[in-house]
Amino acid sequence: MFNQVTIIGLGLIGGSLGLAIRRKRLARRVIGVSRKPSTLRRATRIGAIDEGSTDLRRAVSGAELVILATPVDLIVSYAKRIAPWLQPGSLISDVGSTKATIVQALEHRLPRPVAFVGTHPLAGSERRGIDAASATLFDGSLCVVTKAAATNPQALARVRRLWSRIAGRAVVMSPREHDQALAAVSHLPHLVAFCLMGATNHGALMLAPRSFLDATRVAKSDPDLWDDIFLTNRIALARALRQFQRQLDRTKTLLSRADRAGLRRFLKHTHALRLTL
């Protein structure tokens, strides 16, 4: 599908992406970029990349597609930096967890013949780094590919085809739709996990059953990664949080009134919704 793909950032996602692209033969060559030579050596050894480099310019030159797999707050600056070094018709894509800020910042700001298409593969783990990378991380998962006003249709189609092959399903959404949905189904549950930990005293934690461990599992995720995600998507997240707080207030009222019928209706409704997933 591609001659050369360059992946910038070889963490869990970048590394797994390299493994998947090479395993499925979706590119002739995969070049990896990391600031740490040890990461490049490790990525080469596990077969995530054909070749690694710490030199950004050298690594992107000749790439048909550059995928930015860095922390979200670095994506825009990297994209702007590399764009002038790419050949006309090249693509830049990213795998960041929030999309509106990134797409807005890049759509009209790149040199004309280079197209940007944002994506967000909905796969991950609370583990991170190249050592957690896996060729099957994206198997059976879903990837969101964003379409905004200025998105180049051919570029969108190519990136979408790539992700259909890697993840199985690729759906197209506007960056705003993506951010609102992700705020609700990913960023909010993460925030809730951190807040559950903050609200629970030491003695009670000793009794924590599986329900608590499951509900707070994602609080094991890297805080340095999540403060960026929360802040980049803070408008949509605040909205999802308000909706969630309304549900909490509603059940608090039902409890204070000991309204068994109302509580049961609410539980039955949300229980039935959960069974559809």
Residues 144-203 that bind a copy of itself (CB under 8 A): 144, 177, 180-182, 184-186, 188-201, 203
Residue placing its CB nearer to a copy of itself in the complex, 157 or 267: 267
For a copy of itself, the closer of residues 18 and 124 by Cβ is 124
Min CB(44)–a copy of itself separation in Å: 29
Q: What is the closest distance, in whole angstroms, from the C-beta atom of residue 259 to a copy of itself in the complex?
A: 9
Strand locations in 95-202, DSSP E?
Answer: 115-121, 142-146, 169-173
Residue 38 C-alpha from the chain's centroid? 24
68 binds a copy of itself (CB under 8 A): no
- State the nearest-atom distance from the C-beta of 36 to a copy of itself, in Å: 22
74-103 positions binding a copy of itself, by CB under 8 A = none
Q: Which of 157/204 has CB closer to a copy of itself?
A: 204
Which residue from 94, 27, 13 is spatially nearest to 62, judged by alpha carbons? 27
Structure tokens at 135: 């060729």
Task: Write down the least CB distance from residue 66 to a copy of itself, Å.
Answer: 25
- Tell me the number of residues near a copy of itself by CB under 8 A: 83
Smaller CB distance to a copy of itself: residue 38 or 276? 276
Count Cα neighbours of 163 within 13 Å in the Cβ-side half-sphere. Answer: 26
Q: How far is the CB of 173 from a copy of itself (least distance, A)?
A: 9
Residue list 105-124, contact with a copy of itself (CB under 8 A): 122-124
Strand order of the sheet with strand 65-68? 51-53, 27-33, 2-8, 65-68, 91-94, 115-121, 142-146, 169-173
Site residues (CB under 8 A) for a copy of itself, limited to 215-274:
215-224, 226-227, 230-231, 234, 237-238, 240-241, 243-248, 250-252, 255-256, 258, 260, 263-264, 266-271, 273-274
The CB-of-228 to a copy of itself minimum distance in angstroms stands at 8
Residue 185: burial class (beta carbons within 10 Å; 0-12, 13-18, 19+): exposed
Q: What residues have CB less than 8 Å from 141, skipping those under 6 apart?
A: 121, 122, 123, 167, 168, 169
Residue 149 or residue 258: which is nearer to a copy of itself going by CB? 258
Beta strands (DSSP E) in the chain are 2-8, 27-33, 51-53, 65-68, 91-94, 115-121, 142-146, 169-173
- If the CB atoms of residues 108 and 252 are measured against a copy of itself, the closer one turns out to be 252
Q: How far apart are CA 119 and CA 106, in angstroms?
A: 13
Rg (CA), the chain: 21
Query: Tokens at residue 235, please?
Result: 């408008």
- Which CB, 45 or 264, lies closer to a copy of itself? 264
Least Å distance between CB 148 and a copy of itself?
18
